[in-house]
Amino acid sequence: MRNSLVILLSGLLISGSAFAGSKVALESASIDVDDHKSLQRGTRNFMNYCHGCHSLSSSRYNRVAKDIGLPVVPADTGASGKDADQIAGTNAKLITENFIFTRGIDGKPSGLGSLMHNAMPSDDVKNWYGGVAPDLSLTGRSRGADWIYTYLKSFYLDPERPSGMNNTILANASMPHVLWDLQGNQKLVEHIDEEGHKHSKLVLETAGSLSPEEYDEFVNDITNFLVYVGEPAQLARKKYGIFAMLLLLMFIGVAYALKKEYWKDVH
């Protein structure tokens, strides 16, 4: 029994070391889910470049719109009467024209209250890419912001892949580099140092329509949006946390006053 445990632990240590050695260093994303402008840009970027294949089936358009600062309900705007109706109508038009590009099973355009399913039939996706694109509702929580941010920056030219692209973070991924026209094309440059260690880096070979700094901001906004989508409650939990702490502080004061009252006659 003891030998079996030793063997098992040794195997775990070896596999863990191999996994750690194979990990690629992640770049740090600048995430602020309270930044409505970033969330709005991230929503726009995701809907235009990602939503054609990837769903956000745990989210609804109107909830996302409200959270990113584009409310469609008059009561949420702080206005009243005709002003409220005008704001709500303008925002609703803005959302439906710029964010909603899908149709339901009945063929009708998705509405503000619809779930954010992707626009591509699953059978076609299987034929084109060999499998259905994953739902990204919880990717911000399961993968983390740094992983998403680095992944979107790590595509490089690879003629051996069907799409002509590969990725240093997720090798041999079936997803093509849909942002190539913005980032440009990168190539993977490898070299071996004097100690025999192999090093690699990505070098921009052909420039895209955005500068490297602009592209970083573009994918950072997408990352920020996916982090929000993974846990919309985080927009309010800090406020609730502060309220809870204040409540506990008040309770401490009351408890101390009760303690003094109960023990004042005890010597």
What would the pLDDT profile of 115-169 be if each residue is shown by its tens digit?
898 877 777 777 777 778 899 999 999 999 999 999 999 999 999 998 899 999 9
> Are 212 and 241 contained in the same domain?
no
pLDDT tens by residue, 190-211:
888 777 777 789 999 999 999 9
Domain enclosing residue 254, as ranges: 235-267
- Tell me which of 221 and 22 has the higher pLDDT: 221
Residue 239's pLDDT band (cuts 50, 70, 90): confident
H-state helical runs in the chain:
2-22, 36-49, 61-67, 81-98, 122-129, 139-142, 145-151, 180-183, 212-230, 234-263
Which amino acid, 93? Answer: K
Nearest to 118 by CA among 63, 58, 53, 178: 53
Average pLDDT over residues 209-224: 97
Average pLDDT over residues 160-187: 93
> Are 160 and 198 contained in the same domain?
yes
- What percent of the chain shows pLDDT beyond 70? 85
- Tell me which of 75 and 262 has the higher pLDDT: 262
> Are 162 and 209 contained in the same domain?
yes
CB 189 within 8 A of CB 203: yes
pTM: 0.76
In a domain, 111, yes or no: no
pLDDT tens by residue, 78-107:
555 565 566 667 777 878 777 888 877 677
In a domain, 190, yes or no: yes
- The DSSP line for 217-237 is HHHHHHHHHHHHHH-TTHHHH
In a domain, 109, yes or no: no
> Are 200 and 243 contained in the same domain?
no
Q: What is the pLDDT of residue 19?
A: 34
> Are 199 and 145 contained in the same domain?
yes
CA angle, 141 as apex, 218 and 11 as ends, to 5°?
120
Count structural domains, the chain: 2
In a domain, 125, yes or no: no
Nearest to 72 by CA among 41, 93, 57: 93
Q: What is the pLDDT of residue 23?
A: 58
In a domain, 178, yes or no: yes
